[in-house]
């Protein structure tokens, strides 16, 4: 169980001012739950994920995992970023083995474990390839295998499929869902894409911006695998889109010159587009 308790986060800017990024973020993620954070660019999704990862500290509030406060990164939490942070000088197999070296395992056990996880992401044929020889999707699969290999209870994923083409993204969403169903890990997933959130999550936490606040939490009451044409899912997408739309239009108004006249309804809203990225 992850308790995110009244988190506030301010960043000091270079000009000495303070940027309030998160304002009173408070929710709980149950064991084995898949929760997505969805919101416009700059609303603090990555900052919150980094606080849960122990990579960033909060200004106020705390994150408790199984009732223990988080202060540092730990092997109980695997992190996957948008760009797979693989070591370019190591092969797929060596990259996946890397994190396992801190565990009390024999060389044989490390090799076996790494190969198992590479198989789980269907990359056995490429175990001896180097990152520059892999496509974006294959690099992300390697990063997922590396995170899973250390057997964390929780996976923290920051737009892991955001830089991939549509086809690859859909394939990896499907694979991730399968892995989640098999392993029952707790997953906290950051995305800009409403359809991705609806396809993958048990709950979706929609953020408002400047500073980041929770606008609404949606439960996705649908079984798996999810058929995206189901009426319920489409209706849910559209409800979420309406909440986000207001926030994105607000951000745009704040980011544009004062003499810019924002025409309501002028954006081509589509739940399968990445929302809130720069226009």
Considering only 2, 7, 21, 79, the residue that binds ligand ATP (CB under 6 A) is 21
**Contact flags string 1-20 toward ligand ATP, x per CB under 6 A:** ----------x-------x-
Stretch that binds ligand ATP, among 45-53, 104-112, 114-122, 261-269 (CB under 6 A): 45-53
Which two three-digit tokens encode residue 205? 């936490």
Stretch that binds ligand ATP, among 41-49, 165-173, 236-244, 257-265 (CB under 6 A): 41-49
Would you call 246 helix, strand, or coil by DSSP?
helix
Contact indicator for 172, 161 with CB cutoff of 8 Å: yes
**Contact flags string 243-262 toward ligand ATP, x per CB under 6 A:** --------------------
- What is the rounded CA–CA span in Å between residue 128 and residue 125? 8
Relative orientation angle of helices 107-120 and 136-149, to the nearest 10 degrees: 130
Q: How far is residue 85 CA from its own chain's centroid?
A: 15
Would you call 176 helix, strand, or coil by DSSP?
helix
- Please name which of 102, 192, 196 lies closest in space to residue 149, comparing C-alpha atoms: 102
- Binders of ligand ATP among 188-227, rule CB under 6 A? 192
Check residue 46 for interaction with ligand ATP (CB under 6 A): yes
Antiparallel, parallel or unpaired: β 18-29 and 203-208: unpaired
CB of 19 or CB of 75, closer to ligand ATP: 19
- What is the rounded CA–CA span in Å between residue 201 and residue 219? 8
CB of 35 or CB of 110, closer to ligand ATP: 35
**Contact flags string 139-158 toward ligand ATP, x per CB under 6 A:** --------------------
Contact indicator for 10, 18 with CB cutoff of 8 Å: yes
Kind plus residue range of the DSSP H or E element containing 117: helix 107-120
Check residue 42 for interaction with ligand ATP (CB under 6 A): yes
CB of 96 or CB of 275, closer to ligand ATP: 275
Considering only 2, 45, 79, 92, the residue that binds ligand ATP (CB under 6 A) is 45
Stretch that binds ligand ATP, among 39-47, 92-100, 133-141, 144-152 (CB under 6 A): 39-47
Kind plus residue range of the DSSP H or E element containing 219: strand 213-219
Q: Which residues bind ligand ATP (CB under 6 A)?
A: 11, 19, 21, 39, 41-47, 192
């Amino acid at each position: 169980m992850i308790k995110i308790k009244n988190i506030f986060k301010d960043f000091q800017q270079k000009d000495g001012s303070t940027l309030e990024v998160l304002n009173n973020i408070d929710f709980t993620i149950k064991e084995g739950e898949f929760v997505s954070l969805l919101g416009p660019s700059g609303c603090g999704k990555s900052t919150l994920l980094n606080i849960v990862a122990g990579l960033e500290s909060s200004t106020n509030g705390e994150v408790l995992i199984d009732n223990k406060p988080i202060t540092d990164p730990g092997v109980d939490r695997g992190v996957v970023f948008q760009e797979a942070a693989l070591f370019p000088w190591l092969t797929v197999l060596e990259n996946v083995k890397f994190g396992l070296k801190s565990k009390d395992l024999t060389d044989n056990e490390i090799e076996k474990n790494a190969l198992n996880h590479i198989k789980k992401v269907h990359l056995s044929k490429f175990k001896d390839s180097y990152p520059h020889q892999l496509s974006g999707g294959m690099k992300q699969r390697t990063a997922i295998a590396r995170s899973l290999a250390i057997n964390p209870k929780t996976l923290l994923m920051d737009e892991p499929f955001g830089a991939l083409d549509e086809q690859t993204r859909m394939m990896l969403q499907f694979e991730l869902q399968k892995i989640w169903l098999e392993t029952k890990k707790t997953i906290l997933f950051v995305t800009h894409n409403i359809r991705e959130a609806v396809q993958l999550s048990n709950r979706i936490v929609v953020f408002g911006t400047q500073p980041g606040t929770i606008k609404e939490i949606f439960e996705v009451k649908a079984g798996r695998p999810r058929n995206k044409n189901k009426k319920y899912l489409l209706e849910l997408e559209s409800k979420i889109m309406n909440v986000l739309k207001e926030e994105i239009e607000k951000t745009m108004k704040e980011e544009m010159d004062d003499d810019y006249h924002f025409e309501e309804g002028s954006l081509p809203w589509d739940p399968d587009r990445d929302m809130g990225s720069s226009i």
